[in-house]
Every structure is written in structure tokens, then in C-alpha cells.
Amino acid sequence: MKKELSYLIIALIGLCIGVSSCNPQKGKQAPNGQDSISLAGQSTTAANENVKLEPNEKLTDAARFVAGMPVMNQNSKLYALTQTKEWKNHARNMDQIWNSYQQSAPKVLAFTQNELSDINRNVHTLFYPFGGPDFLFSNAFFPDMDTYFLIGLERPGTAIEVKHPSQRTYKLYQDAVSDVLSLSFFRTRDMSVEMVNDTIDGVVPIISMLMARTDKEIISIRNVRINSDGTIISTHPDNTPITEQTGMVEMKFFRKGTNRLQTLYYYITDLSNEGLEQNKPLVNCINKLNRNSTATFIKSASYLMHSPGFSMIRDLVLEKSSAVLQDDSAIPITYYPKDKWRINLYGTFYKPVADYAQYPQPELRDAYQLGDPKPLNFRIGFARQSNLQVMRRK
């Protein structure tokens, strides 16, 4: 199980998760006086069309710096660091790493436009259990979500603080994204390695870097938590902001050149039955999802939901999703009865990769052999011969 959990991934919505306007604002008052965050599902274009979304220069420049991209403030310390030989080498290395994804990016875009356009029109929230820091593919397949809700086992961490970067610092960031860009999933590494200089202390720096590389501007990063009734809370009972680590972080951002506010939540938790039984706030939160405006994405999930020990999260996904995009490592096809779900197959499946041979999935194999799956011309998930399934609720 430890090996399986180590593969829980990444690094590419009427929910209990909320969206505020162009600047962090307080939502409606919860019964205890705390500020709750409004439900997603509404348009997140700036409430006043004349109000332009503005990035937080410090957060955005820090993300661009570690991503090997030019920073905005040319009078800053970061700009001076971009003139060093070490950073320029880092920028070249990051460009090379990014190019491995760019080769398949147009194919992913075409798939999104041709196969997921109806889902993207009707859905506001993307739920991504076992997603870890995978902002890249969640945003590539579902680019215009109001809210992204990613769950993983890696700790959230904090906003990037660039102090005295070294070659080791740069190498740490390069390694952190090289797998997701070339293989489409993260190989979980120990993010707690102590270094003399800057460190990656969780997924927030990774997500920030991926946002920078996909032309996103970061507005805010803050700690939030889930209240007992499943509501996202941004303040303490005395209405002061949450500053301590809570296991959950909120990131507000927008795509450069647009005025559409988007929100990402990352939450660290154990999604096994044992973990969910001890986490009623999260269960209540998921149960507040609006099925009609929620889609779920599951990829490289180590076949965990094939096990009885993960039946609760499997049932929650099936109950609260209008559509599911997944690969063979997600929910067995037998849980999608044809009288309730319309299934479209893509790519190739005969058997799982060797590490997961205990999950042969003969029903999925037969569906691919007897059906008419569409080709998939990019790599996704564990296998070189990749596959995806799109399930739409009837």
C-alpha cells in the first residue's frame, strides 16, 4: 500500500468550495460568525465588468522565477537574480523540460475541444481526488472551471519565498516537474529535504510554477479549512484570518489576458475508507457538490478504487459527478452501468502495467476489443499505450 500511495498524483462547480471576486473578499456569515466562502457555480468574471483583475506581483514573479521565466518587476531582487549565470542555465533547463510537454500540448488541446466541449460548457467545478499537485492536466482538459478541488497526500506547503537560490534549488524545481511533463504524472519525492537555501515545502510551489508556465497570474494564496458542516471557512470564530497551516490552501488566479477569476483548492488527506470515516467535514463537503455542475478527473490513481478499502470515495464520485474523465487506474468500468452512463473509450487497453497486474479488468479489455475506441495520440497515465474513458451521466 505504501508503494501505491506514493504514486498518488499530480503535477495538467456548485461545490462547498467558493469563489470570491477580483480581490479576496469575505463571503456570507456562517452561523458561528465566521466568514464562509460562497458556493461555486456562478460566473467568476469580475463582478464589476469595469474592474480588472490584478495579479499579486510578489506571488506571480516568484512563480515565474522558479519556472525559469522573466519576472515583471525589473527593479526587484528577483530581476537581478535572473541576470546571473546560474538562473540563465536554470531557465534553459526549464525550457527543455517544458518542451517535452509542448510536443503533446496541441494534441491535448484538440482532445479537449473535440471530446470535452459539452462538459466544459456545463460544468463549473472539477473534483480531482488523488490529483496531488497536478494543475497542469486538470487545467488542460478543463481550462475554464470556476473551481478546481485537488486532493493528495503531499502537504500543501506555502507560497514561494526566493531568498538565496543555489544550483541545488534550481535542480529541485526542475526535478519536481520533469516527470509530470514527460510522463503525465508525478513520481512522489520527499519534499522535506532540508537545503541550505530555498526549498519546496509542499505542492503550492509546484502548482505556482505550473500556473506560471501556463500563462496564469496569481492573485492570492491563503490557508482555509473545512468546517464541520462541510463549508470552506477562511477565518477563525473571532473573524481573524487563518494564518496557521490547516492542510488546505486556496489559490486564486486568472489566465493572462482574461478577466475570469478562478480558484484552486488543494487538500491533504487520506481518501481510504478509514481516512474518510475520520474526516466527516470532507465527506459533508463532497456531499454538497452539485451533481449537475461537477465533473471528476481521475488519473494515475494506482487502482486504489478497485479495492474495497476505497469504496467510499468511489461511491461519492459516482454519486456527485455529471461526468468523469479517467484512465484504467480509476474506477472499474463495471461501476458505470449502461442504463445510467454513456461511455466513450479512447486509446488502447489490454492489461494494466506490470506493477498493477493484480487488476486485470477483463470487462474493460472486452469493451476495448468489442467496441470502437477512438485513437489517443498523446501519452497519459502509467502506460505507454495510454487510454482514457469519458463517462457522461444519462
Q: What's the pLDDT tens digit per position in 227-249? A: 999 999 989 988 899 999 899 99
| Mean residue pLDDT across the chain | 84
- Between CA 101 and CA 83 the distance in angstroms is 26
* Contact (CB, 8 A) for 222 and 242: yes
pLDDT at residue 31, as a whole number:
44
pLDDT at position 196 over 50: no
Question: pLDDT digits over 290-333, tens only?
Answer: 999 999 999 988 999 999 999 999 999 999 999 999 999 999 99
Question: pLDDT digits over 59-102, tens only?
Answer: 999 999 999 999 999 999 999 999 999 999 999 999 998 887 88
Between 47 and 154, the higher pLDDT residue: 154
pLDDT at position 17 over 60: no
pLDDT at residue 148, as a whole number:
97
Question: pLDDT digits over 249-259, tens only?
Answer: 999 999 999 99
Q: Indicate the pTM of the whole model.
A: 0.86
Range from 79-88, 159-168, 270-279, 330-339 carrying the lowest mean pLDDT: 159-168
pLDDT at residue 35, as a whole number:
55
pLDDT at position 379 over 90: no
Domain ranges of the chain: 2-393
Instruction: List helix spans (H) across the chain.
Output: 2-5, 57-66, 77-81, 85-102, 105-115, 117-122, 135-141, 167-183, 203-213, 273-277, 280-287, 311-320, 362-370
Between 100 and 34, the higher pLDDT residue: 100
pLDDT at position 348 over 70: yes
For the chain, give the percent of residues with pLDDT over 90: 63
* Contact (CB, 8 A) for 333 and 364: yes
Torsion over CA: 123, 127, 131, 132 (sign) = positive
Mean pLDDT across 173-200: 57
Provide the pLDDT confidence category of residue 169 given band limits of 50, 70 and 90.
confident
First-last CA distance in the chain: 35
* Contact (CB, 8 A) for 355 and 328: no
DSSP code for 271: -
Provide the pLDDT confidence category of residue 393 given band limits of 50, 70 and 90.
very high
pLDDT at position 25 over 80: no
pLDDT at residue 175, as a whole number:
83
